[in-house]
Amino acid sequence: MPPTPHDTRLRTRPLLVRAQTIDAENRSVEGVIATEEPVAVWDWESRGVIDEVLLLGGVELPEQIPLLRDHDQYNLDAVLGSARSLRREETGILARLFFAREDPEADRAWNKVKQGHLRDLSVGYWVDESTDVPAGQTATVAGREFRAEKRLLRIATRWSLRETSLVVIGADQAAKLETVVNKTKESTP
C-alpha cells in the first residue's frame, strides 16, 4: 500500500513535457499536464485502485501553480519553478513550465529536460465533484457516455489543480514534455 500523504484529498497523475517547445533563454518548456485518459489511481476512501477520468471542462484554470519534484509538497527545495499560461486544448490541459534560476535542484532538472532525459509530468489535484460508474456498467456524465471496465470508474466533473511535478515515470502516457528545441539551435544528446 502506498504511504499515507498528509492530505488525502490530493491525487496525482503523470503527463508529458513537450520538449520541442524549449525556450532556453526563459528556461521554459511546454507540457501537457492533464488529459481525459482514464488513469489507475489509489483511492484513499475505498483503500483500493480505481480508474479515473478528469473532464477537461471541469477544472478552473489558475494563473499559476507550483512545479515540483516528485509531488514533494512539503519541501521548499522540491519547488523547481512554476507552471503558467495554463489552457485547455483538444489534447488536454497545457502549461508553460518555468524553471527557477540560481537554484541547484532546478538547474539539475532543467538540464535533464533540455537533454531529453526527463519527459514525464504528473499533476496533483483535488476532486471537488465526481460521478462513480460501477465496474461493468455504463453511465452518461456531462452529456458523454463512459463505461467502467474491470473496476470502478470515477469521472471528475469538477476538480482543482494544485501542482504539477516532474517525475521519472508517469501514469498517463499522454502527459509529456516535448523536448525538441524551438527558436534556438541547441542540440540534445
For 59, phi then psi, to 5°, come to -110, 135
Three-state DSSP state, 58: helix
pLDDT in tens, 67-90: 999 999 999 999 999 999 999 998
The grid coordinates of residue 94 equal 497545457
Confidence of residue 40 (pLDDT cuts 50, 70, 90): very high
d(CA 58, CA 176): 21
Range in 3-7, 50-54, 120-124, 126-130 the model is least confident about: 3-7
- pLDDT confidence of residue 183: 34
pLDDT in tens, 152-168: 999 999 999 999 999 88
d(CA 184, CA 45): 48
Place of cell 499536464: 33
Over the chain, what is the mean pLDDT?
85
DSSP state of 93: E
- pLDDT confidence of residue 19: 56
